[in-house]
């Protein structure tokens, strides 16, 4: 049985807790490994290793740190199939979907490779008589990341390259459901030449999370997960004096205007709603067609597409969707569909009870299409995080915008239309952090930053891109004057440069 251990100070260790947890292959339902679980002791050790590495790493020239990212990029590119296979084996997503995850991670590594330019400061000469001022951004120290199961490589690689390129050292607490990707990420960094202690990996559950949030030497914490846990991480981390960015859940809507290309919209909804079995915080889970005629036509196009979804393991090159992560997740998703049906939603395509020949013990859910969903139903209010697409019909465009703006989540949204006026109005009025126009999953490229609004995000900074540079550094401003032979005497008023 494969045993997945912590990596602290460059060394594999089982820690001292003696606790382990099973890791499963979602396609077969069989245990594939066990992961050791750490807590306060292991986090303390990881922080000590990171502290010991910080001085040398933070004083490494930014250009040299950037060159390490270039080396990492080459290694990841050469091993992308291996990375994708590691993702799929424990998460279940298709191989192509896992390759897409690797590609988006590589984009952040590319951005981090240019860190020398991103850390350039400002300088002003003669702000006063013989006085100059410069501003620079300096590393925080030891920082940490707590990452989710649904993107076991991409999300850690949204955090780690930016944090360490800025000169920090890092403690990663990945999901214990699919932990092998985190250890592989360490191997990739090690191969690229990263010194021991700069990146440490501690596996664990809530005990490890609390140890991260409470540790006095961890300066900042990045988190991606559900909204209740994001709020917990933000509140507890801030109370401990840390800088915290905590990205939470979503209920992403797509408005389909009467003038939209409905085939294009239906295809977009298929990928955005059922890719990665809907286990994405940027998944479109609510389609909002405008008017009954548009709604009827959209459902007529969606139903056969959903029913024909090719579902299979990652080893099946034709598979469009894999299993969900655990048996518990499957049970929860089924319960959401049951509740929606009971509350009056029409089950147009039913994915409950799917069995796959040869993989009868896997955690399978078929694609599900619900029509006539209303805003009062639990299936609308809840982030299902599964392969379920709800159709909520709106009478007009204004009603649809109000619906989205009233929802507690504000992560991502989209509009499909040929009308430039409608699109422009939508992008201006909608209270959501990431907006797509004829783009179903508007995840920003790495030169911009990812982040939602309202209860989809806690903290002032988005993840990766320019926002990450500001999150992982702090501003220092230095004002200097050298003796010029002129002595002004003591000044007792507040200094000014006028």
Tens digit of each residue's pLDDT (9 = 90 or more) over 32-88: 999 999 999 999 999 999 999 999 999 999 999 999 999 999 999 999 999 999 999
pLDDT at 485: 64
Name the DSSP class of 203: -
pLDDT at 460: 86
CB atoms within 10 A of CB 381: 12
Residues forming CATH 3.40.605.10 domain(s) in the chain: 2-248+456-478
Strand partners of residue 394: 290
> 113, 71 in Cβ contact below 8 A?
no
> 283, 275 in Cβ contact below 8 A?
yes
**For the residues 151-177, what does the mean pLDDT come to?**
98
pLDDT at 497: 60
pLDDT at 498: 60
Q: What whole-number distance in Å separates Cα of residue 416 and Cα of residue 40? A: 49
The phi, psi pair for 221, rounded to 5°, reads -130, 130
Name the DSSP class of 450: B
**For the residues 408-430, what does the mean pLDDT come to?**
97
Q: What whole-number distance in Å separates Cα of residue 334 and Cα of residue 251? A: 18
Torsion of CA 76, 22, 331, 370, to 10 degrees: 0
Residues forming CATH 3.40.309.10 domain(s) in the chain: 252-437
HSE on the CB side for 377, CA within 13 Å? 23
Fold (topology level) of 252-437: Aldehyde Dehydrogenase; Chain A, domain 2 (3.40.309)
Closest CA to 456 of 431, 430, 439, 423: 431
Average pLDDT across the chain, whole number: 96
pTM: 0.95
Q: Which of 134, 166, 238, 281 is catalytic?
A: 281
Quick check: 338 pLDDT over 90?
yes
Q: What is the pLDDT of residues 453-477, one digit of tens each?
A: 999 999 989 999 999 999 999 999 9
> 212, 43 in Cβ contact below 8 A?
yes
Mapped onto helix, strand or coil, the DSSP state of residue 222 is strand
Quick check: 1 pLDDT over 70?
yes
Q: What percent of the chain has pLDDT over 70?
A: 98
The sheet with strand 199-201 has its strands ordered as 11-13, 6-8, 199-201, 169-173, 142-146, 218-224, 243-247, 457-458
**For the residues 347-367, what does the mean pLDDT come to?**
95
Q: What whole-number distance in Å separates Cα of residue 411 and Cα of residue 430? A: 11
Alpha carbon 472 to its chain's center: 16
166 is known as an active-site residue: no
First vs last Cα of the chain: how many Å apart? Answer: 72
Quick check: 347 pLDDT over 80?
yes
Joined tokens for residue 496: 């000014």
Residue owning tokens 């092998």 = 180
The phi, psi pair for 484, rounded to 5°, reads -120, 5
Joined tokens for residue 379: 């299936």
Extended beta strands in 9-106, E state: 11-13, 19-25, 30-37
Fold (topology level) of 2-248+456-478: Aldehyde Dehydrogenase; Chain A, domain 1 (3.40.605)
pLDDT at 486: 60
Residues 6+ apart with CB under 8 A from 189: 72, 160, 198, 199
**For the residues 419-424, what does the mean pLDDT come to?**
96
């Amino acid at each position: 049985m494969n045993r997945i251990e912590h990596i602290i100070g460059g060394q594999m260790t089982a820690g001292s807790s003696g606790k382990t947890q099973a890791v499963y292959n979602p396609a077969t339902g069989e245990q594939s490994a066990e992961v050791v679980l750490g807590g306060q002791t292991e986090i303390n050790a990881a922080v000590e290793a990171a502290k010991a590495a910080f001085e040398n790493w933070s004083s490494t020239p930014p250009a040299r740190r950037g060159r390490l990212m270039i080396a990492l990029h080459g290694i990841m590119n050469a091993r992308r199939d291996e990375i994708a296979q590691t993702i799929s084996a424990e998460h279940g997503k298709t191989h192509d979907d896992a390759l897409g995850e690797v590609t988006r991670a590589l984009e952040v590594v590319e951005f981090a490779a240019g860190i020398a330019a991103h850390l350039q400061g400002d300088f002003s000469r003669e702000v006063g008589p013989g006085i100059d001022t410069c501003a620079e951004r300096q590393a925080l120290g030891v920082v940490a990341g707590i990452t989710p199961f649904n993107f076991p490589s991409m999300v850690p690689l949204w955090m780690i390259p930016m944090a360490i390129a800025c000169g920090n050292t890092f403690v990663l607490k990945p999901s214990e459901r699919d932990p092998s990707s985190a250890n592989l990420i360490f191997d990739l960094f090690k191969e690229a030449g990263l010194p021991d202690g700069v990146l440490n990996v501690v596996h664990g559950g809530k005990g490890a999370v609390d140890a991260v949030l409470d540790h006095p030497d961890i300066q900042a914490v990045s988190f991606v997960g559900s909204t209740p846990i994001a709020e917990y991480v933000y509140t507890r981390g801030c109370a401990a004096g840390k800088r915290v960015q905590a990205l939470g859940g979503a209920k992403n809507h797509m408005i389909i205007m009467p003038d939209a290309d409905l085939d294009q919209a239906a295809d977009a909804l298929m990928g955005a709603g059922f890719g990665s079995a809907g286990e994405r915080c940027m998944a479109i889970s609510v389609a909002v067609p405008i008017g009954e005629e548009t709604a009827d036509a959209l459902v007529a196009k969606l139903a056969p597409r959903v029913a024909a979804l090719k579902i299979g393991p990652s080893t099946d090159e034709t598979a469009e969707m894999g299993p969900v992560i655990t048996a518990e997740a499957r049970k929860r998703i089924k319960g959401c569909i049951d509740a929606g049906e009971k509350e009056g939603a029409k089950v147009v395509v039913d994915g409950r009870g799917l069995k796959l020949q040869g993989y009868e013990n896997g955690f399978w859910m078929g694609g599900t299409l619900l029509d006539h969903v209303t805003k009062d139903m639990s299936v609308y209010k809840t982030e299902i995080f599964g392969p379920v697409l709800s159709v909520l019909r709106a009478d007009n465009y204004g009603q649809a915008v109000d619906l989205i703006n009233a929802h507690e989540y504000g992560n991502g949204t989209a509009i499909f239309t040929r009308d430039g006026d409608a699109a422009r109005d939508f992008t201006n009025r909608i209270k959501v952090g990431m907006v797509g126009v004829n783009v179903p999953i508007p995840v920003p490229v790495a030169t911009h930053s990812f982040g939602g609004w309202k209860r989809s995000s806690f903290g002032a900074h988005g993840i990766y891109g320019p926002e990450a540079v500001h999150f992982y550094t702090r501003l220092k401003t230095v004002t200097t004057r050298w003796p010029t032979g002129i002595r002004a005497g003591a000044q007792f008023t507040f200094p000014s440069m006028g």
